[in-house]
Amino acid sequence: GAGVSQSPSNKVTEKGKDVELRCDPISGHTALYWYRQSLGQGLEFLIYFQGNSAPDKSGLPSDRFSAERTGGSVSTLTIQRTQQEDSAVYLCASSSQLAGGPETQYFGPGTRLLVL
C-alpha cells in the first residue's frame, strides 16, 4: 500500500513569505506527527495529531508555525513570515493505534524548505 506522502518535495521561498506544507498519511492511520530535521538541531518534534485534534503542540518553535488536520487524514503545516532559520527538512509521520503495543511511526520523504 501507499506510504506517507508529502508535498512539495522541495520549496524555495523568500524571507517573509508564507508557506504551506502538506502531508498525506497512510490510510487508516489515526495519529499524525510533524518533525523538523535541521543541521544544527537534528530531528525535533513539532506537533502531534490524534484524529483532527492536536493534543501536543509543544514543539512548534514560534507562533508563526501552525498546523491543521481535516477529516482525520491530510495535514497542512503553515509557516507565516518565513525566516532563514526556518530552512530545514520537514518530516511527517503517521501511525495506527495498536492496542497494548507501541505505535510504529512511518515517515514520509520530507519537504526540503529553503528560505532565501
Residue with cell 520537514: 90
* Residues within window 28-87 making contact with other proteins, judged by CB under 8 A: 31, 33, 35, 42-43, 45, 48, 50, 56, 59
In angstroms, the Cα distances linking 59 to 71, 83, 99 are 23, 17, 26
Stretch touching other proteins by CB under 8 A, among 19-27, 69-77, 80-88, 97-105: 97-105
Q: 3-state class of 86 per DSSP?
A: helix
The candidate with the shortest Cα–Cα distance to 51, out of 77, 28, 79, 34, is 28
Can residue 104 be called a binding residue for other proteins (CB under 8 A)?
Answer: yes
Can residue 103 be called a binding residue for other proteins (CB under 8 A)?
Answer: yes
Helices (H) and strands (E) in the chain, counts: 0, 11
The candidate with the shortest Cα–Cα distance to 35, out of 115, 94, 85, is 94
Can residue 91 be called a binding residue for other proteins (CB under 8 A)?
Answer: yes
With CB under 8 A as the contact rule, the residue among 13, 74, 96, 106 that binds other proteins is 106
Chain residues binding other proteins by CB under 8 A are 4, 31, 33, 35, 42-43, 45, 48, 50, 56, 59, 91, 93, 95, 101-110
